[in-house]
């Protein structure tokens, strides 16, 4: 039986998923595929290090704050852990009462709030840049995250993502997640595999290739089946299709 497999290392890409405090300096370095979007000097971590000047690096995966005094004082906020971003008044030791960026996050069952103050007067970059980048990250999750029962099918057609192309459409594909199986349609694109039930479009699954640990054809009680095993990062699910 044919099989395609890749190494499943759940810690290989942590930058957009985790919150880390006072990391080793090597973890401040950008990983492969990560790139800097903006770098702002004179930003205070008002809640955690009030009165301490630092710089804030905005990448496509996270926001990194590093103290000017010591690089060992730092934090990394992955965008996937961010719940909301707001602008409110804060009390800064270096700027007094001023507008600041409030970032609410959730990671490993705990909630954390971060407050960043731009020490440069009349500069909106702190507010506009991180909000725009987070919005872009949040609206592109279907490219990289497994999605169940999403609003991805309309009138039996797949809603394509920007630059997504359908390579193949296969009718009469059974999803073997239940004892009886469900009959549906399979889409193969350049980004993901998508299956939806013919009788209920909202019963569907979208599996990006980046979340596949292995793809194998093996025997099942229904006959030969395509089995997709997802990475630990996306739940370690096993999905079968025939």
> Rounded distance, CA 133 to CA 62, Å?
9
pLDDT at 123: 80
Cβ atoms of 95 and 88 closer than 8 Å: no
The list of the chain residues with pLDDT below 70 reads 1-11
Q: Which of 34, 118, 130, 38 is nearest to 82 (CA)?
A: 130
Q: Which of 78, 81, 102, 79 is nearest to 92 (CA)?
A: 102
Fold of 19-139: PH-domain like (2.30.29)
Residue length of the chain: 242
Cβ atoms of 100 and 79 closer than 8 Å: no
Q: Which of 21, 79, 16 is nearest to 47 (CA)?
A: 21
- The CATH 2.30.29.30 portion of the chain extends over 19-139, 146-241
pLDDT at 181: 77
> Rounded distance, CA 153 to CA 195, Å?
10
Separation in Å, CA 6 to CA 29, 158, 241: 25, 27, 20
pLDDT at 202: 94
The whole-model pTM stands at 0.79
Cβ atoms of 203 and 188 closer than 8 Å: no
Strand order in the sheet with 166-175: 3-5, 212-220, 223-230, 238-241, 166-175, 182-189, 192-197, 204-208, 147-148
Cβ atoms of 195 and 183 closer than 8 Å: no
The domain over range 146-241 is classified in CATH as 1.10.238.10: no
């Amino acid at each position: 039986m044919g099989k395609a497999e890749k190494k499943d290392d759940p810690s290989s890409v942590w930058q957009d998923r985790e919150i880390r405090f006072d990391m080793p300096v090597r973890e401040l370095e950008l990983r492969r595929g990560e790139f800097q979007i903006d770098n702002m000097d004179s930003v205070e971590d008002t809640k955690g290090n009030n009165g301490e000047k630092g710089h804030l690096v905005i990448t496509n995966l996270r926001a990194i704050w590093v103290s000017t005094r010591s690089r060992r004082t730092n934090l990394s906020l992955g965008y996937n852990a961010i719940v909301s971003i707001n602008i409110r008044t804060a009390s800064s030791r270096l700027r007094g009462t001023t507008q600041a960026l409030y970032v609410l996050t959730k990671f490993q069952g705990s909630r954390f709030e971060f407050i960043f103050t731009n020490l440069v007067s009349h500069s909106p970059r702190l507010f506009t840049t991180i909000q725009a980048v987070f919005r872009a990250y949040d609206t592109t999750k279907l490219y990289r995250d497994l999605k169940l029962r999403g609003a991805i099918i309309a009138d039996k057609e797949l809603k394509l993502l920007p630059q997504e192309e359908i390579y193949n459409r296969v009718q009469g594909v059974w999803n073997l997640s239940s004892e009886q199986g469900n009959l549906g349609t399979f889409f193969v694109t350049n980004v993901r595999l998508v299956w939806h039930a013919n009788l209920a479009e909202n019963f569907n699954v979208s599996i990006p290739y980046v979340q596949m640990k292995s793809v194998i054809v093996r025997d099942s009680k229904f006959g030969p089946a395509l089995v997709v095993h997802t990475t630990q990062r996306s739940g370690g699910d096993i999905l079968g299709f025939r």
